[in-house]
A and B are shown apart, each in its own frame.
Chain A
């Protein structure tokens, strides 16, 4: 049995999308004589032609899907909430905070940088990256405060 052409999944794909040296003249000659590479060319050309009308819509969902983002956000908010509860417990069990200490359990969260909101539910869902940065900052603040309270 003849092994598949090594170009069919690599060089020919690059050639089809205009990414080959010398404008792909030499590779066009190879594709014209290679059954595997012709099949690759047909597969890609037909798929792109078929999906062309909807590709702009696909573009708008580039990145994690809404469902994935929702799951991700849910998990991150849950972690932040657990840390906040831990911080609250540290306050209650560790004694009375000194002067200037936060008066309520939500106060430390409200100090998150970049204007991050105190509660996960109010997070502005802009972009996943932005969201990650905000949640990272939020978690960092809560974790640091809980350590501070635990050491009191």
Chain B
């Protein structure tokens, strides 16, 4: 008796995806490890798992790489938010030390980052700061926050983006952010 089997992807496509994963794996792990010290390996595995499941139709290698890094960035945010939600006290490990996690002045760097974040949140419009605080430190969704502020969800999303932009600029001005984001060049050739 035979039982139905899941359709297998074409051997050629599998070969291509495996090759592509091998090709980009080291760079992706390094990217993730710098932003989540000690978790690069597990996050990279999760990225490749999701990419394999989605099996995006990426005609070019550059398109495949862009897709994988997009998924990686999304996972990074989720990783840090989940960890942050569990921690009750200020940890000096587990997140990315903005200037290198093995530096002896990690605690000082964290204190400086906190000072910049607090000062920037204080200086921006309260409604922007509120969206950032609520979305990064509580389980409230953007929909919940929008309802709480009495605005549309797009307004809440725009406020989050503005707050993040201001914080990013403030931290970059004080050399607390890593190298320029990658990849920076738009990639063509990915089709759903």
Contact = CB atoms under 8 A, between A and B. Distances in A.
A55 to B, nearest CB: 4
Q: How big is the B interface, by class? A: 35 or more
Given A42-B182, A52-B84, A32 B67 contact: yes
A32 B54 CA distance: 13
A46 B177 CA distance: 7
Contact of B76 (A10, A49, A55): A49
B186 A35 contact: yes
A34 B158 CA distance: 18
Main SS at interface, chain A: helix
B30 interface: no
Interface residues of A, number: 46
Contact of A33 (B135, B165, B176, B190): B190
A33 B69 CA distance: 12
Contacts, number: 185
Interface stretch (A59-67, A84-92, A123-131): A59-67
A40 B73 CA distance: 10
B178 to A, nearest CB: 6
B93 A53 contact: yes
Given A15-B74, A41-B73, A56-B89, A49 B35 contact: yes
Contact of B133 (A40, A41, A62): A62
B15 interface: no
Interface string B82-122: 01100111111111111000000000001001100110011
Contacts of B93: 53
Interface of A: 8-11, 13-19, 24-26, 28-29, 31-35, 38-59, 61-62, 65
Interface of B: 35-36, 54, 56, 58, 63, 66-67, 70-74, 76-78, 80-81, 83-84, 87-98, 110, 113-114, 117-118, 121-122, 133-138, 141-143, 153-154, 157-158, 160-161, 164-165, 167-168, 171, 176-178, 181-192
